[in-house]
Amino acid sequence: MFAQLSISDDESLLAKLRIKQVMIDQVKSAQLENDKLMKKKKMVQNGTSDNFSIDGYGCLRFHNRICVPNVSELKELILREAHDSPFTLHLGGMKMYCNLQKSYWWPEHQAPTGLLQLINIPERKWECITMDFVTRLPFLVTKKNVI
């Protein structure tokens, strides 16, 4: 954000603020390093893509949402800005997600899990014993990180 102050002839003070979207510049430069997004950008320029467009800043958009490349630092910056900025109001995780979903798009898909398979039901007690472990949790005071 840039501020310019000036005094007019009648000695009144005029303040002018100019806000530059730094995050848009970072997303745009990260898009230039992403091969998939560059292919989409060329498709838009050739007129062969309906869902994607290029905005006035030269930034690629999907359904009018900014395409964010798969760069974890950039995603964290966007999430931190939406959560911690003094200019935003954090009304809960779902509301924040809905607000971000209106402006940003990044492809993050989970691999398909495959077909569900039935497990065999044991005929006698203690015939088959299974356990599930949840690992890599933050360490507790007792130095344990597994459930």
- Summary mean pLDDT of the chain: 82
More confident residue, 93 or 74: 74
Q: How far apart are the first and last CA of the chain?
A: 48
| Full domain range(s) for residue 69 | 22-105
Q: Does some domain include residue 129?
A: no
| CA atoms of 117 and 95, how far apart (whole Å) | 36
Q: Does some domain include residue 72?
A: yes
Q: Does some domain include residue 17?
A: no
Q: Does some domain include residue 14?
A: no
Domain count within the chain: 1
Residue 89: is its pLDDT beyond 80?
no
Q: Does some domain include residue 133?
A: no
| CA atoms of 7 and 13, how far apart (whole Å) | 5
Tokens of 9: 């002839």
Q: Which long-range contacts (CB under 8 A, 24 or more apart) does 47-56 make?
A: none
- Average confidence (pLDDT) over 38-61: 91
Q: Does some domain include residue 119?
A: no
